[in-house]
Amino acid sequence: MGKRDLSPTPRRLFRKKNACLPPLTLVQGWWLFATALAALLPLIQHLPLWLSTAAVTGMAWRAWLSWRNGRLPPRWLLFLLVVAACVAVAYSYRGFFGRNPGIALLVIFLALKLLELRSVRDGITVVLLACFLLMAGFLFNQGIAAALYALAALVVAVAALIALQAGPPVRVHERLGQSASLLGQALPFMLVLFLLFPRVQGPLWGLPQDAYTAASGLSDTMAPGSISQVAQSDAIAFRVQFKGAAPPPHQQYWRVLTLTDYDGQVWRHHPTREHDALPYAPAGPSVDYEITLEPHNLRGLPVLEKAGLLPPESSFSADRLVLAATPVRSRMRYAMRSYPDYTPPPEENARILAAALSIPPEVNPRTRAQARQWRAQSSSDADILRAAAEFFQSQLLAYTLNPPLMEKDAVDAFLFEHKRGFCEHFASAFAFALRAAGVPARIIGGYQGGEINPVDGYFTVRQYDAHVWVEAWIDGWGWVRVDPTADSTPRRIEGGLRTAIGGGEAPLLARQDYAWLREFRYRMDAVTNAWNQAVLGFNPQRQREVLGRLGMSEPDWRKMSAWLAGLCGALILALVLNAMRERKKHDATRHAWQIFLRKLARQGIDAQPWMGPDTLARRAAAQLPQHAAAIRAITAAYVALRYGDELPPELRRRQTAALRDMIRRFRP
Amino acid sequence: MKLPLRRWRQWFSGLLSPRRADVPPLTLTQRRVYVLPTAAGLMYAFTLALMLIGSINYNLSLGYALTFLLAGLGIVAIVQSFRNLAGLQLRPARPTPGFAGAQVHFGVRLDSQRRRTGLKLSLAGGESVLCHVQTQELVHLALPVQHRGWQAMPRLTVASTWPLGLIKAWSHARFDERSLVYPAPVAAAPPWPGAGGEGRHLDMSEPDDFFGLRPHRSGDLRQHVAWKASARLDEHLLSKQFAAEQGELLWFRLDLAPGATLEEKLSVLTRWVLDAHAAQQRYALRLDGTALPPATGSEHLHACLQALALYGPPPDERR
Amino acid sequence: MSTISDLSSHHATIRAVLAAAGQIILGKDAQLKLALACLLARGHLLIEDLPGVGKTTLAHVLARLLGLEFQRIQFTSDMLPADIIGVSVFERTSGSFQFHPGPIFSQLILADEINRATPKAQSALLEAMEERQVTSEGITRPLPEPFFVIATQNPAHQIGTFALPESQLDRFLMRIELGYPDREAERALLAGADRRTLLAALPPMLQADELKQLQETAAAIHVSPALIEYVQAIAEYTRHGGPFVNGLSPRATLGLLAAARAWALLEGRPHVLPEDVQAVLPGVVAHRLQVGGAAGQVLGDAFAKAGGNAIGRHLIEAVPLP
């Protein structure tokens, strides 16, 4: 209840900047410090080392100054620091444009603004910068924990905003309580806006390449033999919800990309013409499912063979891939239909067939010799395929995640020397052999298998399910899928990676002995998936679906805006009504007395709020002599109730009723 | 709370033409409270717009959520700022008179059913005071005054940016209240008229007991000088004062006061009256048409000062 | 606990006392009543006014009417604490020190012109007032019951005086001013008989134990929660809301409540009303509050000019009844 005089602001023609703004107190400074710290913490690990170090140093400097009650650094020094930092950012990121340099600049501004806190306005700038950085943190992590952290940080930020206002000093937890209360009131607005604000599919403009750092088990090049250790990640690649039962494992081949160009070492993807016509005729029942794809920065969308429809803004490529318009850089959800059975097209584009036959001369001579032998012995391409498969089985090839290095003539080395490798070796060797024998063949990259999460029923495919296999063109059959890995070591396909290799070699989650860990992981995945589906995957399309399910027919932005305005209005009204409600203890005696005072006031007897009942009664009786007796009686009853001895409740109630009655009958 | 165009027009026209005075107690009803974003509020809105664009561009679902939560907070700030003022009861308290060239204080009593924080009360052309109201609060606002006479209470503004500083809610009140402005007393007091002579009469009663000491004034009897006491103080002589001297009577008249203009004379009279009161002398004041009989005490003082304040034509016609 | 009939008989006694006192001290009914309330609340009274307005007479009258043993101590600048408390004198006959009690060992003390004495002498009296006992040479001696001090003080800012510090002012329950008599009272005073003769003829109207009973009755007067809330609101205002340097101390609020109870007894009420608080408020708080702060600067001048009652008046009007 303290009171503080504000000196009247003198009106000057030339006012020194900030001259009229009240300086910040130490407590306000600490709140802003906490806010900035909370906003910076999640970003630290994503910044280059020099920047995190600089930001932490700046914060520590500020804390030390606050602690020692020291003077803030002079403006020219801060200016130099800003310039230096900007140059450093420009050098470190080669420019200012893009997401990461932007965040870096904001971090620098925030850290330096803390050293320049002089007025309330500076404080508000800090809070707003902190809010922006909290959002920037979501670029790196949008998990549940990150969301909860941001919410907690926001409570601190809003508390800082309140602390900047001229209120009575309160303790820290009370301040946080005020903040949480305000945010709690804001929460319904957030829900309504989240649901109804008409969503626009981003991006609004081209994003710089550094925006995508998502890791994937797939890439559009493949060089078997050049790596000896496969990094197996158990990150989720995508989740599938089947309408009906999941197809059997031998049909769980998720095509993503094709690798057609081979230079003797590296297989590369070669883009083909795109169109949106279905290149074959379905025969048999369809499999319907919905995929939630984690961003993988590729255009190919995982689909089961053979894709039967196109998600919005996608197309078929000539090699039967389903391609999104742009590389997938945010979590995406699409419905898909596949036909395991189909009528193959009678012929294939000559150029594609030619590309599927090209091999560089001189490499892998032993395999070539073997292929020439097949060609000589076989009457058709189908026979060659069969012969090749038999040959692979006869070679007793072993599946391992730690193959030896095979740098020159990798296929020969794999087939005839080491005989150990993983799917890339198998597929590469098989495709090369077929091509050498004159059978058009290409490598397909994608995923194979996956597992059902028993908690929420989602079919989950992880990065360690990434796989490559081969497709060969056989006249009359079309493109035929051949999985040399499976043919040689069938357990890989039927039982998944866990069974294909020994216990010590597989990633932790792929092992079978950690059942409880898998159980826990299933649950976590289910929660994360629900979060991804409901919150993170809430895009314009999903919004329309949800609103449609809620009963809004054909939701468009007009309807959404109307509903949004209506609901927000209702919320505001509820808030106002709740806020304006006077919380007052009801006291019947006082209430009756107030009525009496109002009746007197109508007679021109102005009761000052400080006047005691006796004073008032005497005054009223003097002005209304004809009612003097009634006035005295009412006053006596009121005084006895309010100031007299404690009465038993029953008696008190009766006397209050009597007082009310007297006042009601009092008509001056 | 939402301000339709019509209300705006009313408000602006209210600014241009002086409204009728408000009848106390004035409750700040919802129609009287205005809200607008502050500079910080505009900055906040701008930041939110940037955050929204960022969320769209990077398809950040949680970015949307954060932006919407902050937008909701903005709406809550509007409601809370409004709530901080709405329902507040104002009534003028008794103003404190002052002297011309100094300040008068207008009192405002704030009554509230609930706690209110960070209310800034300001008088047009006067002082601003920040206060928090629990149930009831009395605030005195200084107003510099130049001329003696009546000073009307200027328009009162109650404003608040609580809780977030993003929204400013304010309301005006115009009370029909005025405060008396006494003439400015001259700084250096000329001696009272004819000390011991004209304008000063001794009471008939005989000198009584020794009463105390007071600074020596020319005209004091030599045998009343307290030599011993004076020797201890080296500044000035002290005179013994006797009880009956308390009854010493002073007559102040306009024609006894030195000064070229009426205002100067009034200033001198004001100083005399104040000095006489401080010295607990009995004094009387006679102005043309008004005569205040000799007396002491604060009521007498105020009567005299009021007579001086309101004497003749005011120096300035402003009311 | 007193009954209503008790109360009305007490009330009658008090009215008789006041009426008799009013015969001698003319036109000062309000001050007389306050002084009596102060006494009934077991507090001490400070009268601040010019000489000759009847301070001594007031003390005399109260002492006579209430049947109290009366002593007057004229304070002077050369006074020693022993002059008030008493001294131990070596008596040759008994061969030991014998304590000769000073004037303070009396039921009603008139401490005249207390600000003429040195702080040492002042504090001797004030300590005795507070403790209701006197310690001299290691022996503590209780003061008589009832014990009541009426101190008088010439207005401050006089040369050659030692103004009482604030902390000591707080020991007086009330401070009142007598002021000049009004015209009518003065005429009656001039025309009437000598006050001293009248005083001598005044019969005691109470026995000492009767006064004690009255004090006990006053202390037992009912105070409702609503009234306590009001007193709290006043204290709260002086502490945070008003233009004062320091707010009322808990001792002051306790005194305020006690004085209001005594006033209610004088009014013949079985419970305290806000009016009772308001009646004693100026007397109880004016000497304990100092106007200050930015808003109080000019306000303080106005209070100083308007006399001691202005602060009380301001308080009454600033704090609404809860």
pLDDT tens digits for range A199-222: 877 666 655 444 444 445 677 777
pLDDT for B163-182, tens place per residue? 899 999 999 988 888 888 88
Going along chain B, which residue ranges are E strands? 26-27, 34-37, 89-96, 98-99, 103-111, 116-123, 128-133, 136-144, 149-152, 156-160, 167-173, 178-182, 200-201, 210-215, 238-242, 249-253, 282-287, 290-295
Which chain A residues contact residue B132 at CB under 8 A?
1-3, 167-168
CB atoms within 10 A of CB B83: 22
How close are the terminal C-alpha atoms of chain B, in Å? Answer: 35
Give residue B208's pLDDT band: very low, low, confident or very high (50, 70, 90): very low
Which chain B residues contact residue C179 at CB under 8 A?
297
SS3 C210: helix
pLDDT for B252-300, tens place per residue? 887 777 878 888 888 888 888 888 877 777 788 888 777 787 777 666 7
Question: So what's the pLDDT on residue B42?
Answer: 94
The better pLDDT of the pair B242, A157 is held by: A157
Q: Which helix (H) or strand (E) holds C273?
A: none
Kindly determine whether residue C295 and residue B139, on different chains, have CB atoms separated by under 8 Å. Answer: yes
Pairing of strands C148-153, C45-48: parallel
Kindly determine whether residue A2 and residue C240, on different chains, have CB atoms separated by under 8 Å. Answer: yes
Judge if ipTM > 0.85: no
Question: So what's the pLDDT on residue C158?
Answer: 59
* Catalytic residue, candidates A131, A220, A412, A423: A423
Q: Calculate the CA dihedral of residues C221, C226, C228, C233 and round it to 10 degrees.
A: -150
Kindly determine whether residue A1 and residue B53, on different chains, have CB atoms separated by under 8 Å. Answer: no
- What are the phi and psi torsion angles at B161 (to 5°)? -115, 10
The reply to whether A586 belongs to the active site is: no
Contact present, B78 and B125 (Cβ < 8 Å): no
The reply to whether A269 belongs to the active site is: no
Whose CA is closest to C29, among C152, C136, C181, C170?
Answer: C181
For the record, the structure tokens of A190 come out as 């957030």
Q: What is the DSSP letter of C121?
A: H
For the record, the structure tokens of C90 come out as 């070596």
Of B1, B57, B113, the CB nearest to A582: B113
Whose CA is closest to C33, among C208, C251, C282?
Answer: C282
Contact present, A333 and A538 (Cβ < 8 Å): no
Give residue C38's pLDDT band: very low, low, confident or very high (50, 70, 90): very high
For the record, the structure tokens of C77 come out as 């600048």
The better pLDDT of the pair B232, A311 is held by: A311
Q: Averaged over B125-136, what is the pLDDT?
A: 83
Which chain A residues contact residue C240 at CB under 8 A?
1-3
Amino acid at B298: S
d(CA A223, CA B34): 71
Give the residue from C75, C159, C182, C291 with the most B CB atoms within 10 Å of its CB, the best one to mutate.
C159
d(CA B180, CA B310): 9
Give the residue from B89, B90, B99, B105 with the most C CB atoms within 10 Å of its CB, the best one to mutate.
B105
d(CA B282, CA B286): 14
Domain boundaries, chain A: 26-165, 588-665
Residue with tokens 């009343």: B224
d(CA A452, CA A252): 12
d(CA B171, CA B141): 17
Contact present, A562 and A357 (Cβ < 8 Å): no
Amino acid at A292: T
* Catalytic residue, candidates A122, A319, A483, A525: A483
Q: What is the DSSP letter of C154?
A: -
With a pLDDT cut of 70, the percent of chain B lying above it is 72
CB atoms within 10 A of CB A4: 11
pLDDT for C244-271, tens place per residue? 777 888 889 999 999 999 999 988 888 9
Q: Averaged over C172-182, what is the pLDDT?
A: 84
Mean pLDDT estimate for chain B: 77
Amino acid at A470: V
Task: Tell me the shortest Cα–Cα distance from A155 to chain C, in angstroms.
Answer: 31
Query: What is the DSSP code string of A172-209?
Result: HHHHHHHHHHHHHHHHHHHHHHHHHSPP--S-SSPPPG
- Among B residues 68-127, those touching chain C with beta carbons less than 8 Å apart: 93-94, 96-98, 102-105, 109, 111
Q: Calculate the CA dihedral of residues C231, C235, C237, C241 and round it to 10 degrees.
A: -170
Q: Which helix (H) or strand (E) holds A469?
A: strand A466-474
Question: So what's the pLDDT on residue A503?
Answer: 46
Give the residue from B29, B53, B69, B111 with the most A CB atoms within 10 Å of its CB, the best one to mutate.
B69
Whether residue A528 lies within 8 A of chain B, CB to CB, comes out as no
Q: A169-178 burial, b if ≥16 CB within 10 A, otherwise e?
A: eeeeeebbeb
Q: What are the Cα distances from residue C275, in Å, to A353, B20, B196, C226?
A: 110, 36, 48, 13
d(CA A262, CA C279): 108
Question: So what's the pLDDT on residue A130?
Answer: 94
The better pLDDT of the pair C314, B121 is held by: B121
The reply to whether A86 belongs to the active site is: no
* Residue of chain C whose Cα is closest to the Cα of A6: C294
Residue B158 has pLDDT above 90, yes or no: yes
Kindly determine whether residue C317 and residue A610, on different chains, have CB atoms separated by under 8 Å. Answer: yes
CATH class of the C221-322 domain in this structure: mainly alpha
Residue C154 has pLDDT above 80, yes or no: no
d(CA B111, CA B89): 5
How close are the terminal C-alpha atoms of chain C, in Å? Answer: 27
CATH class of the C1-220 domain in this structure: alpha beta
Give the residue from A11, A122, A126, A128 with the most B CB atoms within 10 Å of its CB, the best one to mutate.
A128
- Kindly list the averaged pLDDT for each block of 10 residues, start to end, along chain A of length 668: 37 37 77 92 86 87 81 84 86 78 88 85 92 90 90 95 86 91 93 88 58 56 63 75 84 88 84 72 84 84 84 83 84 85 79 86 87 88 88 82 76 86 86 90 88 81 84 87 78 52 53 69 78 79 83 80 89 82 66 87 82 88 89 90 84 88 87
Amino acid at B156: L
Which residues, in sequence order, are bridge partners of residue B109?
B91, B138
* Residue of chain B whose Cα is closest to the Cα of C299: B96
Of A5, A612, A646, the CB nearest to C274: A612
Mean pLDDT estimate for chain C: 80
Whether residue A539 lies within 8 A of chain B, CB to CB, comes out as yes
Of C240, C271, C275, the CB nearest to A644: C271
Of A183, A204, A572, the CB nearest to B75: A572
- What are the phi and psi torsion angles at A340 (to 5°)? -60, -30
Kindly determine whether residue A6 and residue B130, on different chains, have CB atoms separated by under 8 Å. Answer: yes
pTM strictly above 0.80: no
Residue ranges, CATH 3.40.50.300, chain C: 1-220
